[in-house]
Structure 1
Amino acid sequence: MGGLRNVAERFVASGPTGVAVRTRLKHLTVGDEEVLRLVGAHLGALASKDLAARCRDGLEHSADTWAARKRELTPLSSSRWAGSITKASHDQWALARRGQLTHVQNLEAGINTIAHRLSLPVGQKGSKKAPGGYRSRQEWHAKARRLHVLEDRLEQKRADREAGRVRVVRGGKHLARTRHHLDAARLTEADWRQRWEAERWFCQADGESGKRYGNETIRVSPAGEVSIKLPAPLAHLANAGHGRYFLACRVTFPHRGSEWADRVEVNRAVAYRIHLDVGRDRWYLTASWQIPPTPTIPIRAALAEGVIGVDMNADHLAAWRLDVHGNPTGAPRGFFYDLSGTRAHRDAQVRHALTRLLHWARACGVKAIAVEDLDFGADKTREKHGRRKGFRQVISGMPTGRLRTRLTSMADQTGIAIIAVDPAYTSRWGAQHWQKPLTSSNRKTTRHDAAAVAIGRRAQGHPIRRRTAPPPHDQSDRAGHRTVQARPEASGREGTRPRIPGPRTRSVDAGCGTNAGDQCAQHRPGHAAEHGSWQQDSLPLSL
């Protein structure tokens, strides 16, 4: 046990701090669509130039340079459009900066792993904690060459980070590379060009509290009227005063529509984004605003009605309900999803699986769901798992961060707390202590189901190990203590069992044993024990 790593403390995950809802812009006229395309293309060109300027500034960026960029954009758009563009550029640069740091850390981890394995003799076996040497001289030589490649790459990335250089592709690197593989993507050049231009458009505006309906640039009234403040070069297209263009459609927000209406009525800030889904040829409007985080409830209060332990896997969520004592009740549940296909399809699959999980939790009356605090960032490199390409693909395809983030956001509206636990040894110990006991002739318990039980027990603060069986033979000290049903710090755990009113067995009434309450007679050989076989006391089976 000395080689096991320490298990981190459980904690209640914090709720979301923002809300985003989306609706479709239906019944747009040809003129409306043409205006939206012109606005998006014009502001997108300005956003591309501003992002390039922000990347050139690098670490020399300051409030003065930010203000200078905004002054340059204002005559070509408006002060509010310029503010939205410069803020978006700064956020994009910061995101690329964080991704650059993660890439540097991954390169360092890969170099350390390869250097360690190269230092070992060829063919030396590894252990559970550290990999062994390479299998052959050919593999050793190939990895030695790769080590030099990674070292050169790391040196370049470190130099870029020290200089503040980042590389950002507006429109997405994946779509940019798709241009060279149109046949594999089943796209024509015209289709790709349309998607590329739509992704590079810019039509989003931050909200302002105190302004009419919470946004002066893209304004949506409580009645659903949508109007846009046109940039200065496109002001001649306005169909209303003050350079505004009103769309012919009216919008409603089916999800959180009342919350949105409450904010708009009192002129609180709401940010909007208009974008085109080229594949469906549909326009959408997304509204977002900040909300105060929901205060986290104490763990004891969240666990008052039990907990549902959830084990995240590549194709399903394995869940099992546990009572307040940590005993699994009912049957395990599986919530399956398919992570193949497009990003929208994967996101919908995850959302539907979590919706079914939350509905089941509400039906059970449980107020807490336990999940693992997983992070496979250091486990996706080919240097760590070598030729286990299938395993790398499995852990790379598990949306662990998205699952927990979305589950926390969705559970916030249902009053269900999300408890994150350390994932150490949950699958191994769950299979060791719970898989076989929970398997019966009409129910086959999988390793994932047993892991869900282990996760739930860890969230409750119970040890994962089950209680041991009573000692065999004649319950004497030679077989050890009669059960592990009380904690070591529990007061009186070595004392006599409590007297329980009512019959102890079918033939002997309570208290009729000649040695009832006599600890010596119950545990030492040579004394008559209580009548009947070994009896379980009233304490929970799992403690």
Structure 2
Amino acid sequence: MGLREVAAPFVVPGPCGVAIRTRLKPLTAEDEKVLRLVGDHLGSLASRDLKARCTAGRKHDSKQWAQRKRVLTEESSSRWAGSITKATHDQWALARRGQLAHVQSLEAGVETITHRLSLPVGQKGSRKAPGGYRSKREWHAKMRRLHILQDRLEAVRADREAGVVRVVRGGKRLLNTRHHLEQAQLTDEQWRARWQASRRFLQADGESGKRFGNETIRVTPDGEVSLKLPAPLAHLANTPHGRYILAARVSFAHRGEQWGDRVTANRAVAYRIHEDTARGRWYLTASWTIPAVQTLPLASARAKGLIGVDTNADHLAAWRLDQHGNPVGEPLRFGYDLTGPAGHRDAHVRHALIRLLHWAQRHGLAIAVEDLDFQAEKTREKHGRRKRFRQLISGLPTSSLRARLVSMAAELGIPVIAVDPAYTSKWGAQHWQKPLTGKNRKTTRHDAAAVAIGRRALGHPIRRRTAPPPHDRSDRAGHRTAQARPGTPEREGNRPRIPGPRTRSVHAGRGANAVDQNAQHRSGRSAEHESWQQDSLPLSL
């Protein structure tokens, strides 16, 4: 089994949307009451619509969509109904993609177990293929697991062919937490509050040309927030035309000018209001689409060199390379801690990325990263008892880091080049770890992998210059460098003379005989056989 083909590097396109968030404060008790009533009412409509969409399955068409929207319009409004149906379709499509990923994971597990069961017990494996199971007891246990996975795979395939998906509004994880409240350190009332908050629906799509870019949830440039109440709750309005104005005034600290320009020009802005029950706060999220940013050509992105970055479970290893693929300066590490709650992990990732991006911005360089995806690498069937290794690759923040890096780099105008991750760690350690280690610098495997990633992004081979031929310094055993292949014109020609002002001290390689190899005192050259005479010296000295 040979090495797989390595894909070509490419410049990652920028983000196509923007989302910013701010807190709604201070809200009165009446404001919170209205928000909960509206969210619960629309959430019940969204649940009913999702059930109808899942029942239709693959037979759903535009006529059924229109019928669902007409039913929802009677109990809310046409715009609320449009937002609900669109969110339903997005959720159903996401469930279908997750179902396909589940099928692929089960197929990989069945294939791996079947292969290992076909081998004799105790047969050792290799790096490319796993061996047999260690004992008969493990063999029988895996045989039982194979039957379980096959049954699951058959059931999921049948659901997929029939277009059946299973979706939980509010999240399956939070639903299962109901049975483990002590472990989650939650009371029944706290869990109930989170469950209701997650099932509310308070989001509205933007409309270009409408006042302030949204008729349903409207935010004026001075920060006034108002909602169009559904028909059954119109009696709660505190302003004409069935609208309710919140007491809170909002402002966006991040991208506030961009948001202000959009609402002033009546361009579409979508809004979402949600409650954080753990903190007792309400938040408003604004989002809009942006035109696709024209990516820089690959040749221009790597013209000045770049920074190769190796992603690890607790840090980013980075090394700067020039345009020829040579490491410059010292490697840097940007650490982060992925323990604790999601907000803590996200803050650490953002802090590490902003330090990396500031370093790249100071030198005007692009960033090269691996195009990692561990979705098919986390199964225990593939890695057997290597539980720590499975936990390691599961802990790598590949998705969040990739999404944040692309969006943050686009804001600073820094190109991001993605490369194939095949063999970067192995070949980097083989060719670069030892040469880059010295008395005052200990190069790690991750630092060497960063160099390999950078060289692949620059279009250079990962290996360094090869040593001279073993026989002699000529080309009998092959050319002496990896950069020039046999047959390259002028690969052994005279070096061009570097023009410049003449000085009293002529440096090596810039003299009169710099381009004449025969004028140098080397073995086999004519200069060695010229006649010369040494002046006699008195022996008495």
TM-score range, shorter chain: over 0.9
Which amino acid is 2:462 matched to? I
Does residue 408 of the first structure (1) align with residue 406 of the second (2)? Answer: yes
- 1:374 corresponds in structure 2 to 372
Where 2:378 maps in the other structure, the secondary structure is coil
Whether the 8 Å CA contact 1:471–1:483 is kept in 2: the answer is no
Residue identity in the other structure for 1:309: G
User: Corresponding residue for 2:240?
Assistant: 241
Q: Aligned partners of 1:47, 1:382: CA distance in 2, in Å?
A: 37
Structure 2 equivalent of residue 431 of structure 1: 429
Q: CA deviation at 1:493?
A: 1.3
Gaps of 5+ in 1: 532-543
**Is this contact kept in 2: 1:500–1:510, CA < 8 A?**
no
Cα distance between partner residues in 1 of 2:130 and 2:519: 53
User: Does 1:510 find its partner at 2:511?
Assistant: yes
1:211 aligns with 2:210: yes
Indicate the SS of the match to 1:279: coil
CA deviation vs aligned residue, 1:415-436 (integer Å, no higher than 9, x gap): 1011000001100111111111
Correspondences of 1:108-127 after superposition (within 5 Å): 108-127=107-126
CA shift, 1:107, in A, is: 0.5
Residue 412 of structure 2: SS of its match in structure 1? coil
1:35 aligned partner, one-letter code: V
Cα 1:483/1:71, change in 2 over 3 Å: closer
How far apart are the structure 2 equivalents of 1:107 and 1:529?
74
Residue 23 of structure 1 corresponds to which residue in structure 2?
22
Is the contact between residue 476 and residue 525 of structure 1 (CA under 8 Å) also seen in structure 2? no
Residue 506 of structure 1 deviates from its aligned partner by: 6.9
Equivalent position of 2:8 in the other structure: 9
CA distance in 2 between partners of 1:508 and 1:394 (Å)? 52
In 2, are the aligned partners of 1:20 and 1:288 still within 8 Å (CA)?
yes
Write the distance in 2 (CA, Å) between the matches of 1:202 and 1:180: 25
Question: How far, CA to CA, are the matches of 2:200 and 2:30 in structure 1?
Answer: 18
Q: 1:164 to 1:413 in 2, by over 3 A?
A: same
Instruction: Kindly provide the CA deviation profile for residues 361-382 of structure 1, in whole angstroms up to 9, marking residues without a partner as x.
Output: 112221x100001111111111
- Segments of structure 2 that go 5 or more residues without pairing to the other structure are 531-541
Q: Which segment is superposed worse, 501-510 or 251-260?
A: 501-510
Identity value in percent: 70
Task: Give CA-to-partner distance per residue, 1:32-87, whole Å, 9 cap, x none.
Answer: 11111111111111111111111111111111111111111112111111111111
Task: Judge conservation of contact 1:430–1:453 (CA < 8 Å) in 2.
Answer: yes
Question: Which position in structure 2 is the counterpart of 1:259?
Answer: 258
> 1:488 Cα deviation (Å)?
5.2
- Paired residue for 2:267? 268
SS at match of 2:159: helix
Structure 1 residues 8 and 323: alpha-carbon distance in aligned structure 2, compared to 1, 3 A threshold: same
Structure 2 match to 1:184: 183
Against the structure 1 CA distance between its residues 512 and 303, is the aligned structure 2 distance closer, same or farther, given a 3 Å change threshold? closer
The match for 2:34 is: 35
Q: Which amino acid aligns with 2:143?
A: A
Q: Is the 8 A contact 1:496 1:518 kept in 2?
A: no
Instruction: Name the SS for the 2:157 alignment partner.
Output: helix
Matching residue of 2:466: 468
What letter corresponds to residue 230 of structure 1 in structure 2? L
Is the CA contact 2:518–2:527 (under 8 Å) kept in the aligned structure 1?
Answer: no
Q: Are 2:385 and 1:387 aligned?
A: yes
Q: In structure 2, what is the Cα distance between the partners aligned to 1:335 and 1:386?
A: 32
Deviation at 1:497, TM superposition (A): 3.7
Cα shift readout 1:122-146 (whole Å, capped 9, x = no counterpart): 1112222211111111111111111
Match of 1:330 in 2: 329
Aligned to 1:105: 104
- Offset, 1:517: 3.0
Letter of the 1:340 partner, please give it: T
Contact 1:215 1:270 in 2 (8 A): yes
Residues in 1 aligned to 2:376 and 2:313: alpha-carbon distance in whole angstroms? 17
Deviation of 1:507 (Å): 8.8
Question: Within 5 Å, which residues of 2 pair with 1:45-444?
Answer: 45-366=44-365, 368-444=366-442
Taking structure 1 as reference, are residues 279 and 489 closer, same or farther at Cα in structure 2, changes over 3 Å only?
farther
Structure 1 stretch displaced more, 212-221 or 128-137: 128-137
Shift in Å at residue 468 of structure 1?
3.0
The residue matched to 2:418 in structure 1 has which SS? strand
Offset of residue 496 of structure 1: 3.7
**Distance (Å, rounded) in 2 between the aligned partners of 1:267 and 1:96:** 34
Number of equivalent positions: 527
In 2 relative to 1, CA 509–348 (structure 1 residues): closer, same or farther, beyond 3 Å? closer
Relative distance call for 1:343 and 1:520 in structure 2 (3 A) is: same
Contact 2:18 2:290 in 1 (8 A): yes
Q: Distance in 2 between matches of 1:512 and 1:67?
A: 86
* Separation (CA, whole Å) in 1 of partners of 2:487 and 2:260: 55
The structure-2 alpha-carbon separation of the partners of 1:525 and 1:175, relative to structure 1 and needing over 3 Å to count, comes to same
Deviations 1:490-530 (A, max 9, x none): 431133444456899879972448x93349996x8586679
Deviations 1:343-401 (CA, angstroms, capped at 9, x unpaired): 222222212211111111112221x1000011111111110000001111111111212
Q: Which residue identity lines up with residue 438 of structure 2 in the other structure?
A: S
User: d(CA) in 2 for partners of 1:432 and 1:279?
Assistant: 50
> 1-side partners of 2:56 and 2:486: how far apart?
62
Is the CA contact (8 Å cut-off) linking 2:313 and 2:392 kept in structure 1?
yes
Deviates more, 1:419-428 or 1:472-481: 472-481
Aligned to 1:539: none
More moved, 461-470 vs 10-19? 461-470
Cα contact 2:518–2:525 (8 A) shared by 1: no
Q: Is the 8 A contact 2:14 2:292 kept in 1?
A: yes
Distance 1:530 1:304, change over 3 A: farther
Residue 490 of structure 2 corresponds to residue 492 of structure 1: yes
Could you tell me whether the CA contact under 8 Å between 1:332 and 1:449 is conserved in 2?
yes
Residue 37 of structure 2 aligns to which amino acid in structure 1? Answer: L
Give the Cα–Cα distance (whole angstroms) in 2 for the partners of residues 520 and 53 of structure 1: 88
Task: Describe the shift of the 1:508–1:372 C-alpha distance in structure 2 as closer, same or farther (beyond 3 A).
Answer: closer
